[in-house]
Amino acid sequence: MTPRLGTDGIRIVYPVRGIVQGFRKLGHHPQRQTLLYVACLVAVALMTGCALIAAGYTLEAPLAVLALGLAAAVAERISVRFAVAQRGLTRTEEQSISLLPTLFAAVLFGPLAAAAVGAASMLGDPELTAHRDPDRAPRLKWATYTSTRFIGGAAMGLAAQATLAAVPSVFGELIAATFVGAIVGEALDVFFTALTGRIRGRPIRDAIRTVVPVVLTSAPIYAPIVALLAFMYVKVSPWTLALFLVPAMAAQRLYGLYQEQRQLADELSTANETLERTNLQFAAALIATLDARDQYTAGHSAAVAIYSRDIVERMGLGADVRDLAYLCGLVHDIGKIGLPPGLLEKPGALTLEERRQMQEHSAIGERILAHVDEYSEIATVVRHHHERIDGQGYPDGLIEESIPLVSRIIAVADAYNAMTSSRPYRDAMPSRVARLRLAQAVDSQFDTSVVAAFEAILAGADEDYRLAQRRDFREFAQSTYDESRTESVGSVAEVA
C-alpha cells in the first residue's frame, strides 16, 4: 500500500494502522524483538485501561482533561533537545514539561484521566507530521511512548489517589499526592527508558546514567508547583490552570531557544577551530613547496612565524593578532616560488636587475594568497613586510603607521633570522651582532616598539632560541619534509 499524502505533499502517518501492520509483519520482520516488545507494551496499556474502567474509574471533568491533553501535546512539540556525550559519541535527548499536565490530572482527576493525558502528549511529537522516508515512519516510536506514558499516567494516578486518602488536610494531601505521583511517574519513566534502550541495543546503565540526573533535578522543582496549582484549582478557580500552563510552556520554549543558541555557539566554535587547523595545514603545504625550492633557507619561515608570534605576545596585542602574525610569518616568503630559476641559489652578489626581480616576491606572494578567500588580510600583510618606516622599502614605499602593524613585526623577525642564518653568499652573524644591527635601524627601517619588544625577548632567551635552534623550530622545519603529509600537518598544529 502506498503512503497517503496530505494537501501540502507531506506524508500522513496513521499510528493505529501502523501498529496493525506491524502485528501482521511480526512473524518475519527483521526487527522481531522490537516489534514483540512494542506489542507487549500496547497489550499492557490496553489491559490497564480496561482494568481502570472495570474498577469504576471515569474521566472526571472531561473539558479540563481535554485541556490538559492539549497542553501536554503542545509541551511535547516544543520539547527541548540537548546533546548527551557518552563513550566518545554524542546523542540527542529530549526534555519537556508534558509530565506536569499528567501529574496534575493524576492528583485531581484520577488514574484514567492521567493515563489519557499522558498518552495524548505523544500527539504533539513533531515526528508524527514530519516528512520522512516511508521506510522510517515513526509508528514504533509512537506506539512505544504512547503505551509507556499511558501506563505511567495510570500508575501516577493510582499512587496519588491512594495518598490522598491517607493524608487528612487538603493542602497536605495535595502536596503528598503530588510528590508520590511524581516519584512513581519518574521511576517508571527511568524503567521504560532503560528497557527500551536495552531492546534497541543500548546498555541499560547508559540510559539510567542519562535519565536519572534529569529526574533528580526536575522532580523536586515541579512537584511543589503542581501541588500549588492543584490547590488553587480546588480552592480558587479552574482558570488558574491556564494561568500556569501558558507561562510554563513559554518558559520551556525560551529554554529551548537558549539550548539552540548554545548549540549553534558550540558548532561555530568547532567550525572556527577546524578553520584554524585548515589555515595551518594550508600554510604548511606552502612552506613545504617553498623549502623544496630553496632548501638552503629551510626553516626560515618557521622561525619568522615563531618570532613574530612571540613579539605580539610581548607587546600584549591579543590572540587574534598573535594568530595572524603566526600565519603571516609562515607564508611571508611564498612569493619566492615565482622567482626565476637559480636566483635564490645564486652564491654571489645580485645584480641590479636580479635585485629588482627578488623584490617582486612580496607582490607575487600577495597575488598567490589573494586567491584564497580567508587569506585576504594575510595577503596584504605579506605584500608590505619589506616596507620601511622611512618610506624607502618596497613595493609601495609606505611610511610609518601606513604600514600594517603585523607587516612591521614580520619585518623585524625576518631581518633578524636572515642575519643569524647562513646564506650562499655569506656566513651567519652572531646573535649579538644581529641585535645591534636591529637597534641601529630603528626609526629608519624598523618600528622602534617592535624592535624593543623583540630585544626584550632575546635578552631573556637562551642561544638556541636566538639562533632558531630550539626544539620547536627544528621540529617545524623537519615536518615540512615528512613524506606523510598528514603527520606533517599534525606536527605543525601541535607547534602552533
Contact yes or no for 176/224 (Cβ under 8 A): no
User: Residue 309 and residue 235: Cα distance in Å, rounded?
Assistant: 71
User: 308 in helix, strand or coil?
Assistant: helix
pLDDT band at 476 (very low <50, low <70, confident <90, very high): low
423 has pLDDT over 50:
yes
Give tens-digit pLDDT for 1-15. Answer: 444 544 455 554 455
Other beta carbons within 10 Å of 475 = 14
Give tens-digit pLDDT for 244-269. Answer: 566 555 655 555 555 566 666 666 66
User: Residue 263 and residue 283: Cα distance in Å, rounded?
Assistant: 30
Residue among 257, 252, 255, 256 at smallest CA distance from 101 = 252
Among 1.10.150.20, 1.10.1760.20, 2.40.50.140, 3.40.50.20, what is the CATH number of 15-238? 1.10.1760.20
Q: Specify the range with the lowest mean pLDDT, choosing from 117-121, 247-251, 325-329, 470-474.
A: 247-251
pTM here is 0.48
Q: List the chain domain ranges.
A: 15-238, 269-495
Greater pLDDT, 236 or 156 = 156
206 has pLDDT over 50:
yes
User: Residue 288 and residue 232: Cα distance in Å, rounded?
Assistant: 75
Residue among 280, 308, 307, 303 at smallest CA distance from 407 = 308
User: Residue 485 and residue 214: Cα distance in Å, rounded?
Assistant: 46
User: Residue 139 and residue 142: Cα distance in Å, rounded?
Assistant: 5
User: For the domain 269-495, what is the CATH superfamily, name and number?
Assistant: Hypothetical protein af1432 (1.10.3210.10)
Cis peptide before 341 (omega within 30 of 0): no
Q: What is the pLDDT of residue 2?
A: 44
Give tens-digit pLDDT for 99-145. Answer: 778 888 888 888 999 899 888 888 877 666 554 444 444 677 788 88
Spatial neighbors of 117 by CB under 8 A, at least 6 apart, are: 65, 68, 69, 72, 101, 102, 105, 153
The rounded mean pLDDT for the chain is 75
459 has pLDDT over 90:
yes
What DSSP character marks residue 123? G
Contact yes or no for 381/324 (Cβ under 8 A): yes
Question: What mean pLDDT is predicted for residues 460-468?
Answer: 90
pLDDT band at 174 (very low <50, low <70, confident <90, very high): confident
Which residue bears the cell 512513581? 184
Question: What mean pLDDT is predicted for residues 151-164?
Answer: 89
Residue among 317, 496, 471, 319 at smallest CA distance from 409 = 317
Greatest alpha-carbon pair distance for the chain in Å reads 108
